Amino acid sequence: MSNFAAKRNRPLSPNIQIYRPQLTSVLSIVNRITGVALSIYAVALVVWLVAAATGPWAYATVQGAIESRIGQIALLGCTFAFFLHLCGGIRHLVWDTVHGFELRSIYISGWAVVAASVALSALAWIASLFVAG
């Protein structure tokens, strides 16, 4: 068997069939996804502001879409994406100070990012219920 044929039969690394996603890689990917999602939500915010400036009919149309079930789910996703991206950014700022690189610290801070994002999202929605009345 030639050397070329032996190399072609080897699986690519990491082999997707045996690779187990780790918290660090999942949070890295999710941080990038939330960054893109927040860019899309920023465009939606501009649409809402333009509708508010355009007049009552345009504002009522956009506000109706936001108040729908799908709109509320999108707002919840936006809130969670914001806090996950924010907490992940704070985690990276701590890393920029050359702290928290021990494996145990990395996993503790990763789970702290997830827990803080859930808690802050819940607090934001509870506060919005009090403000809305």
**Model pLDDT for residues 29-88, shown as the tens digit of each residue:** 999 999 999 999 999 999 999 999 999 999 999 999 999 999 999 999 999 999 999 999
Whole-number Cα distances in Å, 88 to 43, 74, 93? 22, 21, 9
Task: Please indicate, yes or no, if residue 9 is contained in any of the structural domains.
Answer: no
Task: Please indicate, yes or no, if residue 128 is contained in any of the structural domains.
Answer: yes
CATH of the domain at 66: 1.20.1300.10
Confidence bin at 102 (pLDDT 50/70/90): very high
Task: Please indicate, yes or no, if residue 6 is contained in any of the structural domains.
Answer: no
Confidence bin at 114 (pLDDT 50/70/90): very high
Please, what is the average pLDDT of the chain?
A: 91
> Are the CB atoms for 29 and 110 separated by under 8 Å?
no
Question: Domain range spanning residue 50?
Answer: 30-132
> Are the CB atoms for 61 and 51 separated by under 8 Å?
yes
| Sheet strands (E) in 1-133 | none
Task: Please indicate, yes or no, if residue 36 is contained in any of the structural domains.
Answer: yes
Task: Please indicate, yes or no, if residue 8 is contained in any of the structural domains.
Answer: no
Torsion angle defined by CA atoms of residues 120, 123, 129 and 133, in that order, rounded to the nearest 10 degrees:
-130
Taking residues 121-133, report their average pLDDT: 93
Domain count, the chain: 1
pLDDT of residue 14 exceeding 70, the answer is no
> Are the CB atoms for 92 and 122 separated by under 8 Å?
no
Task: Please indicate, yes or no, if residue 4 is contained in any of the structural domains.
Answer: no
Task: Please indicate, yes or no, if residue 18 is contained in any of the structural domains.
Answer: no
CB contact set of 65 (below 8 Å; sequence gap of 6+)? 71
Residue 133: the pLDDT is 73
pLDDT of residue 11 exceeding 80, the answer is no
